[in-house]
């Protein structure tokens, strides 16, 4: 695995001190993989009282939503029935960067990737 994108489920797992999440995160860092958190995921998931957010983000790349990425996500969202903006951004980021996704939302992300006729590597959390 060369890159890894976190969706909102991954950030929630971090906040709940999910042991499996922290093992996956630590292993990624040990392998030189800096996990990616799209800003849309951060906006959806962050809460003022999150204890582990700073700890998590210190070991991640927070990727701003550029115009081309936003337009790519919009195409995916509109081509997929019931896709959310954040899920479309996660899939667009992973497909563009050739990354796997750490998620608790496999069916929705697979549906979006299928619409694009692309395979998406998914790790369930």
Q: Per-residue pLDDT tens for 78-104?
A: 999 889 999 999 999 999 999 999 999
Whole-angstrom Cα Rg for the chain: 14
Token pair of 102 as six digits: 């750490």
Share of the chain above pLDDT 70, in %: 98
Q: Other CB atoms closer than 10 Å to residue 8's CB: what's the count?
A: 23
State the chain's mean pLDDT as an integer: 93
Within a 10 A sphere around the Cβ of 96, how many other Cβ atoms? 14
Joined together, the tokens standing for residue 24 give 């996956």
Structural domains of the chain ordered from first start: 4-124 (3.40.50.1010)
The predicted-structure confidence for 33-65, as pLDDT tens digits, reads as follows: 999 999 999 999 887 766 778 889 999 999 999
pLDDT above 60 for 1: no
| Token digits of residue 109 | 């992300």
DSSP state of 6: E
Note the pLDDT of residue 50.
65
Q: What is the pLDDT of residues 14-27, one digit of tens each?
A: 988 999 999 999 99
């Amino acid at each position: 695995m060369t890159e890894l994108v976190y969706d909102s489920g991954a950030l929630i797992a971090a906040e709940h001190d999910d042991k499996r999440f922290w093992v996956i995160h630590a292993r990624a860092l040990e392998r030189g993989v800096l996990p990616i958190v799209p800003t849309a995921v951060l906006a959806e998931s962050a809460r003022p009282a999150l204890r582990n957010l700073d700890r998590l983000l210190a070991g991640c790349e927070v990727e701003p939503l550029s115009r081309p990425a936003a337009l790519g996500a919009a195409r995916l969202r509109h081509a997929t029935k019931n896709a959310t903006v954040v899920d479309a951004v996660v899939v667009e980021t992973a497909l563009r960067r050739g990354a796997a996704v750490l998620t608790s939302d496999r069916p929705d992300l697979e549906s979006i990737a299928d619409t694009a006729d692309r395979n998406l590597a998914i790790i369930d959390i």
